[in-house]
A = this chain, B = another copy of it.
Amino acid sequence: MAEKSFTHFDASGNANMVDVTDKAETFREAVAAGSVIMEADTLAMIAQGDHKKGDVLAVARIAGIQAAKKCSDLIPLCHPLMLTSVKLEFDIDRDNNAVHIRARCKLSGQTGVEMEALTAVSVAALTIYDMCKAVDKGMTVNNVRLVSKSGGRSGEWSAAS
């Protein structure tokens, strides 16, 4: 691993945006995931949201989509880019008292969309926390991670499962 280095620092150790001017514009896709762990009662209340008691996941989905669009404003060295697709899915897992979140982002561009997908998952998770914190302050956001990416010089990548 001798030659590995952080791409955001120059030879003097100064942080800068990576120069992608000369990179080819290719189709890029990234999938990120994460989970919010909570009490069983809290999960039951969220699950009822489908039936007109207040839909926590609908609000979290919008928050996640909007956050993906703000990624370059949040992560200092991210490039601005024009997402062509952001999709979030939520999965209610009663066995593990969890809501699992998955975000998929796409674009054709010179830089990948991993950070956009991770940001969407993180902000969707925080929104779930916000809306449920009055009943369950002990919720945790866990295992926020990149699931897969494609496109760009580094090509395909999938998390070991």
- The residues of A with any CB-CB pair to B shorter than 8 Å are 1, 4-10, 12-21, 23, 27, 34, 41, 45, 49-50, 52-56, 58-59, 61-63, 65-67, 69-70, 72-89, 106-110, 114-115, 118-119, 122-123, 125-127, 129-135, 137-146, 149, 157, 159-160
Known: A6-B45, A74-B74, A79-B82. 4 other contacts (CB 8 A): A13-B49, A21-B85, A62-B63, A77-B131
The 8 A-B residue pairs whose C-beta atoms are closest, nearest first, are A9-B54, A19-B85, A141-B144, A21-B84, A140-B145, A7-B134, A13-B54, A13-B52
Main secondary structure of the interface of A (DSSP, over half): mixed
Residues B122 and A141 in contact, CB atoms below 8 Å apart: yes
Contact of B72 with A69 in the complex, beta carbons under 8 Å: yes
Pick from B14, B69, B114, B144: contact of A140, CB below 8 A: B144
CB of B66 within 8 A of CB of A73, answer yes
Check if A141 sits within 8 Å of B8, measured CB to CB.
Answer: no
Contact of A142 among B54, B109, B133, B142 (CB under 8 A): B142
Cβ of A122: which chain B residues have Cβ within 8 Å of it? 122-123, 125-126, 141, 144
